[in-house]
């Protein structure tokens, strides 16, 4: 089957893979560009997850200021300075900082939630669920679901990404990491808003 070289190049640019891989993906998809793109993105995300085990110690501290009323500092790390100086990385950091300004997360991920806070919320949800007369054997399951939802709303990586609510911030980071072929880690952030106390 003859492939359009422009389509092969477009697939290469969108996914960050080599020309040979892009061509192979289009051939496997029978020339269907969207199908090939979906397959390549899936492969790219899988590779990005494997890269997640590599150490990320380079990076940048990004900033975002919204109407001089909300300010954000965020540290995002990559494996190399070369990637950290690139446009894709800079845009990703800007996106993350803007998201933090808009969505006001409290933690980067569930790993950052203090045990005391988890215990406090578990006790609160357990008491509330029991007082609603739920069956005793179902309380733990109900509370686990409530805790997961409660903390997902407060953890940056679990929040729906403001520019595309169909994906989480973690998925947005992974997609960009796949394009850059690097491990990318959101290390920490600080958000300050006029009149708000932490």
Q: Give the CATH number, domain containing residue 136.
A: 1.10.286
Residue 188 above 90 pLDDT? yes
CATH number of the domain encompassing residue 44:
1.10.8.10
pLDDT in tens, 77-127: 998 889 889 999 999 999 999 999 999 999 999 889 899 998 999 988 888
pLDDT at 139: 83
pLDDT band (50, 70, 90) for residue 159: very high
pLDDT in tens, 38-68: 777 666 654 555 555 556 778 999 999 999 9
Q: Are strands 164-168 and 160-161 parallel, antiparallel or unpaired?
A: antiparallel
Number of structural domains (the chain) is 3
Given a cut of 60, whether residue 9 has pLDDT beyond it is: yes
CATH number, residue 74: 3.30.479.20
Q: Residues near 16 by Cβ (< 8 Å), separated by ≥ 6?
A: 44, 178, 179, 180, 181
Cα torsion 61, 162, 112, 45: sign: negative
Torsion of CA 116, 121, 124, 128, to 10 degrees: -160
Confidence of residue 192 (pLDDT cuts 50, 70, 90): very high
Q: What is the dihedral of CA 172, 176, 182, 184, to 10 degrees?
A: -40
Phi first, then psi: give them for residue 137, nearest 5 degrees: -75, -10
Q: 44 and 16 in contact (C-beta within 8 Å)?
A: yes
Range of 70's domain?
58-108+154-193
Same domain, 99 and 69: yes
């Amino acid at each position: 089957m003859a492939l359009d070289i422009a389509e092969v190049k477009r697939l290469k640019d969108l996914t960050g893979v080599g020309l040979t891989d892009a061509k192979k993906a289009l051939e496997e998809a029978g020339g269907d560009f969207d199908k090939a793109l979906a397959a390549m993105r899936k492969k790219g995300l899988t590779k990005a997850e494997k890269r997640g085990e590599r150490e990320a110690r380079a990076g940048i501290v990004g900033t975002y200021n919204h109407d001089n009323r909300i300010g954000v500092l965020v540290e995002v790390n990559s494996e190399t300075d070369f990637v950290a100086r690139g446009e894709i990385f800079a845009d990703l950091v800007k996106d993350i900082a803007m998201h933090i300004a808009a969505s006001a997360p409290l933690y980067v991920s569930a790993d950052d939630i203090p045990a005391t806070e988890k215990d406090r919320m578990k006790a609160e949800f357990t008491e509330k669920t029991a007082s609603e007369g739920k069956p005793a054997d179902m309380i733990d399951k109900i509370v686990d679901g409530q805790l997961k939802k409660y903390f997902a709303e407060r953890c940056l990586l679990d929040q729906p990404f403001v520019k595309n609510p169909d994906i989480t911030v973690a998925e947005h980071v992974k997609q960009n990491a796949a394009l850059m072929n690097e491990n990318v880690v959101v290390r920490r952030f600080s958000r300050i808003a006029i009149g708000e106390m932490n």
